[in-house]
Amino acid sequence: MNQGTNVHEFERYTNTLLDKYKVPGFAIGLAKDGELCYEKEFGHRDVEAQLPLSSDTVFGVGSITKAFTAIAILQLQEKSKLSVEDCVTKYLPELKTSNEAYTNQMTIHHFLTHTSGIPPLLTLIGSIKKSMEKDPKFGEDEQQGNPLDAIPSIDTYSDLIDSISKTAFTLLGAPGTEFSYSNDAYALLGAIIEQVSGTTYEQYVQENILEPAGMHNSGFHYKADMNAEEDIAVLYDIREHDGEKVVFRSNNPWDAPAMRPAGFLKSTVNDMLKFTEIIRNAGKVGLEQILKPESVELMTTPYIPCAHGSFYGYGLTIIPDFFGHKLIHHGGDLKGVTAQMNILPELNLTGITLANIAGAPSSKLLFSAFASLHLDKTIDASHLNVQTSDIAPEDLMEYEGTFLSGDGMMNKLYVESGKLQLATAGLPASVLEPIGNDEFLFTIREMPSTLRFIRDENKKIDRMEFVLRQIPKLEQNE
C-alpha cells in the first residue's frame, strides 16, 4: 500500500456506509502480485448467533458468475469446440424472436457482450419463481395474493428458449449495435457450453475452472460443492415497515437452474482472489494455466460502451481510465448478495467485496479501497471526470415520463424544484444532473453513475440506458 495511507480512515468510512445501509456482514480482500495484502471482515455471517465472518466464509457472488461463463466459452474455443463468431442458432436452432433475420445473425460474441439486441425480459423472475415462493414473509398483507402466480416457471434451458421464443418483444437493433445487459444471453451460453462439452454447465465449471484454480469452497450448491460446511453467510433481506427499513433473516437462497450461468455461483474472499489471478496473471493461477493469454486479451477488450467511460468485454466491464489506469471489474446483486470484483493489471492489484444482503455499497467500498489505499486519492473520490451543466426547467420536461422495463422495473422521471428527478422502486429518489448529450449524472449506493436517453429517428426520447439496461418509454395516452 502507498505510504501515508490511513487504513483506519478507510475502515471508519466502511463502518459508516455499512451502518447506513444496514449491512449484516461484509468481507473485503485485496491482493498485490497474487499475495493477500489486506483483508477485513465487518459484522457477522449470522447476526442472531453472533457468528463471525472469515476470508473463507461462503457468500453468493451474483453476476460475477458471468466471467466464469465467459472463461468456459473461451476454453472451448481454445479446444476448437466452438468459435465466438459462431451463430447461436447453430447450437440453439429452436431459438426464435420476432425478427428472424436478426436472430440468425446473433453470434456467441454478441451474447458475451450483451449486444444480441434482446431487451430485459421477465425470464429471470420465472427462473427463480420456485425459490421466491419459499421466501419467509415479513409484514405482508396475506390477502393481496401472489403476483408470481401470473408468471410461468422456467426450470430448464428448454423452458427458457421456449419462453423467449413465445414472448412478444422488439429487438433493440441489429446484433452488435446496441448494448443492453442480458441475463438471458448468459443463461443460453450455459446451454451452448453443455451441448459442446457433453457435461452439465455446473460440472464443466467445477472441473475446468474451480478445481484447477484451487477454489475449493466455491460451487453452485451449498455444501455439496464445497469444503466449507459451516462457514456460510446467512442471507438477509430488507423491507419497509411502518416507514422504516427493517432487516430480517431470510435464509432461503434463490436458485434458478436455467439461469445459473448468469449469476448463481457461491464463493469466498480467498477463492475469488484466486479467480482474479486468471485476469491479472495472463490466465495463470499458481502453476495452472486456466486460460491462454490471448483468450484473456479477448475477455478484457473494450468492445462496446455500456456507460459513460465504461465498456463491456466478455463477462467483464472495462474502465480504460480509472485515475489513469485500466480497471477491469464486475458486480453481482441478488437476494442476500452484493458482490464486487476489481482488477488493476498495471498495478498487479486485485480485490473482492462480499455482503450478505442485496443493495449493499460493496462496489463503492471496493472502488474506494483501490483509490484511497493504492492510488493516493481521497476516500470518496470518483474516477468519472464529468462536468455538470445547467438546463432550463422547461427544457428538462422533455425527459419526463415513465420508462418500463420488460423485467418489470418501473422508472418515473419528473421535474421538481427545477431538477430532473428519478424514482425507481427500491431506491431513494435521485436528482439527475445534466452532463451533456442527453446524459445525466446521479448517485446510486454512493457511486456516481450515469443515465443516458436514447432518441428515435424523429429525435424523440424513445428509451433510456439505466443500470446497463435499455428501458423503453411508455407512450402517454392523451
Looking at residue 401, which CATH number applies to its domain?
2.40.128.50
pLDDT surpassing 90 at residue 427: no
If asked whether residues 153 and 254 sit together in one domain, one would say yes
Domain assignment present for residue 388? The answer is no
Domain assignment present for residue 477? The answer is no
If asked whether residues 330 and 443 sit together in one domain, one would say no
Residue type, 68: F
If asked whether residues 453 and 378 sit together in one domain, one would say no
Give per-residue pLDDT as tens, 7-30.
999 999 999 999 999 999 999 999
Query: N- to C-terminal Cα distance for the chain?
Result: 60
- Please list the residues that pair with 411 across neighbouring strands: 403, 424
What nine digits make up the cell of 165?
Answer: 421464443
Domain assignment present for residue 387? The answer is no
If asked whether residues 114 and 31 sit together in one domain, one would say yes
| Listed residues 355, 382, 409: the one ending a domain | 382
Domain assignment present for residue 460? The answer is yes
| Listed residues 348, 382, 416: the one ending a domain | 382
Q: For the ranges 139-148, 210-219, 414-423, which has the lowest average pLDDT?
A: 139-148
Q: For the ranges 123-132, 220-229, 441-450, which has the lowest average pLDDT?
A: 220-229
Q: What is the mean pLDDT of residues 209-225?
A: 93
Q: What is the mean pLDDT of the chain?
A: 94
Residue 63 and residue 335: Cα distance in Å, rounded? 12
CB neighbourhood size of 225 (10 A)? 21
Angle, helices 183-197/157-166, rounded to nearest 10 degrees: 130
If asked whether residues 468 and 319 sit together in one domain, one would say no
If asked whether residues 368 and 414 sit together in one domain, one would say no
Q: What is the pLDDT of residue 379?
A: 94
pLDDT surpassing 80 at residue 239: yes
Banded model confidence at residue 476, pLDDT cuts 50, 70, 90 = low
pLDDT surpassing 80 at residue 138: no
If asked whether residues 348 and 438 sit together in one domain, one would say no
Structural domain count, the chain: 2
Banded model confidence at residue 3, pLDDT cuts 50, 70, 90 = very low
pTM: 0.96
Residue 422 and residue 406: Cα distance in Å, rounded? 18
Residue 127 and residue 113: Cα distance in Å, rounded? 22
Give per-residue pLDDT as tens, 311-358.
999 999 999 999 999 999 999 999 999 999 999 999 999 999 999 999
Residue 41 and residue 354: Cα distance in Å, rounded? 10
Q: What is the mean pLDDT of residues 421-444?
A: 91
Residue 431 and residue 77: Cα distance in Å, rounded? 45
Q: What is the mean pLDDT of residues 50-68?
A: 98
Helix/strand/coil for 458: coil
Q: What is the pLDDT of residue 120?
A: 95
Banded model confidence at residue 150, pLDDT cuts 50, 70, 90 = confident
If asked whether residues 238 and 378 sit together in one domain, one would say yes
If asked whether residues 240 and 95 sit together in one domain, one would say yes
The whole domain housing 458 covers 393-472
- Answer yes or no: are the C-beta atoms of 27 and 55 closer than 8 Å: yes
Domain assignment present for residue 122? The answer is yes
If asked whether residues 349 and 459 sit together in one domain, one would say no
Residue 264 and residue 334: Cα distance in Å, rounded? 9
Q: What is the pLDDT of residue 4?
A: 41
Residue 52 and residue 43: Cα distance in Å, rounded? 7
pLDDT surpassing 70 at residue 145: no
Q: What is the pLDDT of residue 240?
A: 83
Give per-residue pLDDT as tens, 258-306.
999 999 999 999 999 999 999 999 999 999 999 999 999 999 999 999 9
| Listed residues 322, 349, 382: the one ending a domain | 382
Q: Residue 312 belongs to a domain with what CATH number?
A: 3.40.710.10
Q: What is the pLDDT of residue 478?
A: 39
If asked whether residues 35 and 137 sit together in one domain, one would say yes
Domain assignment present for residue 478? The answer is no
If asked whether residues 261 and 408 sit together in one domain, one would say no
- Answer yes or no: are the C-beta atoms of 472 and 410 closer than 8 Å: no
Domain assignment present for residue 458? The answer is yes
Give per-residue pLDDT as tens, 178-196.
999 999 999 999 999 999 9
Q: What is the pLDDT of residue 355?
A: 98
